[in-house]
Amino acid sequence: MAVRSLHVSELSARGFRNLRGEPLRLGPRFTVLSGDNGQGKTNVLEALYVALTSKSFRTSKLSELLAHGSREGDDEAIATVRAHVIEDGSPRVQTVALRKGHRLVKIDDKRPASLAEYAVQSPVVVFHPGELSLSMGASAERRRLLDRVALYSAPVALDSLGRYTHAMRARQKVLATRGVGASDLGDWEALMAEHGAATCEHRRRAAEKLGARASKVFGEIGSPGMALSVTYAPGGPEEAEELRRVLAELRPADLRRGSANKGPHRDDLALTHASAPSGRSAFSTLAAPLPVALHPVRGTASQGQHRAIVLSLKAAEIAEIGAARGVRPILLLDDVSSELDRERTRALFSFLRAQEGQVLLTTTRPELIDIARSDERVDYTVCDGVLSALVDG
């Protein structure tokens, strides 16, 4: 499939966090935002992410995005972000307006049929320092990764997940207020089973595609002799009837726990690495393959291996989303050099250059950004929410 070009030429934000001033004009390839901490660099990336997806990558509470206004608890406060997008030469304007508890999205002044339809228009992938939790932290980040990938191959996946979550909360409320014998529990469980099974199906497919790509990338950038395996680890029965049966059986336990013990809300992506037993090289001529030890990466991988695993997963996300949508995703890199040494930063940039899509990145140390200043690169400084173009001196 031919890969279409995609880039954002201009981003404007009003009433969004601390951002003020003129719209940002982005370069078609690299845009570098530098500035001290706390000036608004991440806010710019977040504004672009919201404009393209209607969601934030750092909070699920959209009201946090509204600029702290003069009046406390102002219900009329509104934040608007707008991106001028060019896909294969055709321009469009994507706008997201936020008001306490509401979200209005538009593509060229028309409202799309659903938020999912809006969110798949202009694929965007973020890397931020918190991303290390993908390999080391709790399962929520990995579920979000699966859901982002699932969304692009089947936008309806977002709908299944939303309905499952709604039914799950309603059931828990019934359990807590009216106990395990309440007559409508069965109806909620039927809904959980139906939409939960659909969610599992989308996630299993996403995990398979993502896993195959991540293992391949890890083979290229990871340690020699190590292999990464990425598989779907369902948090309950994947089949609707079985999930429904288990939910009914676990009512007392779920009431005690305060939440459902089984179901896709507890899904995970199992990350294991396989290494040959030590001394392998001495026996490598043996005809029978030696047993391979499988370890969960949590607790056993080194810091460097965790970074390689995260980079493999992100590279897989970019490739899978790009393939599903037929365009190269826009990449947002937050604080790239804060944690990386010169060597790793260089490795990251050789990876990025190979991606060929548009990249917007922030840094407190522009001297580490190993991309020539040229027509390929546009530089800005961010100070107290205001962007200024940096002219080469």
Ligand X SMILES: Nc1ncnc2c1ncn2[C@@H]1O[C@H](COP(=O)(O)OP(=O)(O)O)[C@@H](O)[C@H]1O
Q: CB-wise, 12 or 199, nearer to ligand X? A: 12
Q: CB-wise, 61 or 110, nearer to ligand X? A: 61
Q: Which amino acid is at 250?
A: L
Which helix (H) or strand (E) is 351 found in, with range?
helix 342-355
Backbone phi and psi for residue 24, each to the nearest 5 degrees, phi listed first = -95, 125
Q: Which does 356 bind (CB under 5 to 8 A by kind): Mg ion, ligand X, none?
A: none
Q: Quick check: 123 binds ligand X (CB under 6 A)?
A: no
CA distance 94 to 52: 7
Q: CB-wise, 108 or 384, nearer to ligand X? A: 384
Backbone phi and psi for residue 253, each to the nearest 5 degrees, phi listed first = -65, -40
Q: CB-wise, 18 or 223, nearer to ligand X? A: 18
Q: CB-wise, 42 or 160, nearer to Mg ion? A: 42
Binding mask 13-42 toward Mg ion (x if CB under 5 A, else -) reads -----------------------------x
Q: CB-wise, 60 or 281, nearer to ligand X? A: 60
Binding mask 55-74 toward ligand X (x if CB under 6 A, else -) reads ---------x-xxx------
Nearest-approach distance from CB 336 to ligand X, in angstroms: 12
Nearest CA among 334, 380, 373, 376 for reference residue 353: 376
Binding mask 40-79 toward Mg ion (x if CB under 5 A, else -) reads --x-------------------------------------
Dihedral of the alpha carbons of 149, 170, 195, 212, in degrees to the nearest 10: 30
Nearest-approach distance from CB 364 to Mg ion, in angstroms: 8
Are 121 and 94 in contact by the 8 Å Cβ rule? The answer is yes
Binding mask 68-107 toward ligand X (x if CB under 6 A, else -) reads x---------------------------------------
CA distances from 192 to 60, 134, 244, 376 (A): 22, 27, 8, 50
DSSP class per residue in 232-266:
EE-SS-SSHHHHHHHHHHTHHHHHHHTS-SSSGGG
Residues 334-363 interacting with Mg ion (rule: CB under 5 A):
none
Q: Which does 18 bind (CB under 5 to 8 A by kind): Mg ion, ligand X, none?
A: ligand X
The half-sphere exposure of 246 on its side-chain side, counting CA atoms within 13 A, is 18
Q: Which does 291 bind (CB under 5 to 8 A by kind): ligand X, Mg ion, none?
A: none
CA distances from 89 to 6, 86, 92, 327 (A): 8, 6, 10, 13
Strand partners, 126: 332
Are 231 and 269 in contact by the 8 Å Cβ rule? The answer is yes
Nearest-approach distance from CB 26 to ligand X, in angstroms: 17
Q: Residue with CB nearest Mg ion? A: 42
Nearest-approach distance from CB 361 to ligand X, in angstroms: 12
Binding mask 29-48 toward ligand X (x if CB under 6 A, else -) reads ------x-xxxxxxx-----
Of 7, 17, 213, 265, the residue at the interface with ligand X (CB under 6 A) is 17
Strands 78-87 and 6-14: antiparallel
Size of the site for ligand X (CB under 6 A): 15
Site residues (vs ligand X, CB under 6 A): 17-18, 35, 37-43, 64, 66-68, 382
